[in-house]
A and B are shown apart, each in its own frame.
Chain A
């Protein structure tokens, strides 16, 4: 049966509680940390050879769509009424808005060490110890808005800039692609510093803490953020109904990206699934 993913700002008190409870249980079961590991493993930059599927590649969107589905399945094994809500960061833009409330994800970290001290995922509550990470820190960290050197979340206009592009992705199919919806949304912009952080990437930076590193999935906001990214992909598809995932066919042997990116009908590791098979989620879930 098709289920619904909701805007996190519209969840009822009960829906919030059940979502949080399911996350904590998936963590307690040891399943959650496997997602963190997988995200680290599949973060392969485009300056290295070999197949890239999760980032800096056309399959950024289907890869994370499937990744979210797996997490959502884990949540629904705990409580089949739970789905992953999305955080529309073009609307809920402050450090105290949802999802940063005590009944959802808790707030920003304290200034001394960026440790999140509020909400269900605060270390002191005992249910959210960081076990897989790139540093030795055991507690969740955030630095919302990076007050020491402030930056803003992407705006609706920034998102529109990506949605308006009628082409899914373009050569060279990596972080240097200057055209195409995928990289405009993934957000590897030209230049250095804040100006180069667009959309998806910029949100990771705005949140700070673990969300800045390879172990970003340690912060449960990862899923709400990527649910919104996933929703934006759906919106792009609706706006450009005749456009599909690119590259449509495997790149030629002479192409610099041959063997490094997944074409529409090629398998997308670690799953036995193709981008084409993930293009339409309407039989599994819908966004409201």
Chain B
């Protein structure tokens, strides 16, 4: 599972370059930009068979799978080769099959890229809060899901996403 979803990483050698005096921010970010295709498309379906059914507010360590406000939320405790300091908090969570990046706060609570200025007691609560923030037709970004961002071959046409898996799921 991890070998297929965790390693679809491509880095960019080229840099969009710096424009005028914006040098510092742009240059630094651009040089280190990496696309990590964490949880490539279809992952939600692929993970489903290994899930154990869980209660919505189940033990912190259990996975979860539920439909919340017409969105399919799937969370899997990632036990293989990943830990909190790698940026996912040790969880793989998807909403309608698209990766929702979870992050851990020092107080043990959880936050997501969608809802970034507050945190929640469990990964499921954070995922629900992210769904709350999504509009009726709004979807999470998939790395490279836009024609503007990827070529047809699946190779980034220009830097996509940002450094490391910390920000997988950013459309850029």
Contact = CB atoms under 8 A, between A and B. Distances in A.
Contacts of A73: 20-22
6 contacts: A38-B28, A73-B22, A112-B136, A113-B138, A134-B141, A205-B118
Interface of B is mostly: loop
- The number of chain B residues touching the other chain, given as a range, is 35 or more
Interface string B112-134: 01111110110000000000011
Interface of B: 16, 19-22, 24-30, 33, 84-87, 89, 103-108, 111, 113-118, 120-121, 133-141, 145-146, 148, 162-163, 166-167, 169-172
B106 A172 contact: yes
A52 B124 CA distance: 25
Interface residues of A, number: 57
A47 B167 contact: no
Contact of A45 (B104, B140, B145, B163): B104
Interface of A is mostly: loop
Interface string A30-59: 110111011011011111111000001000
A253 B111 CA distance: 28
Nearest to B111: A45
Given A204-B117, A213-B113, A41 B108 contact: no
A251 interface: no
Given A134-B114, A137-B138, A70 B171 contact: no
A153 to B, nearest CB: 14
A34 B115 contact: no
Given A56-B106, A269-B28, A135 B21 contact: no
A114 to B, nearest CB: 6
A83 interface: no
Q: A-B pairs with the 8 shortest C-beta distances?
A: A47-B104, A270-B28, A49-B85, A46-B106, A41-B162, A134-B113, A34-B26, A45-B103
Interface in A183-226: 187, 192-193, 196-197, 201, 204-205, 212-216
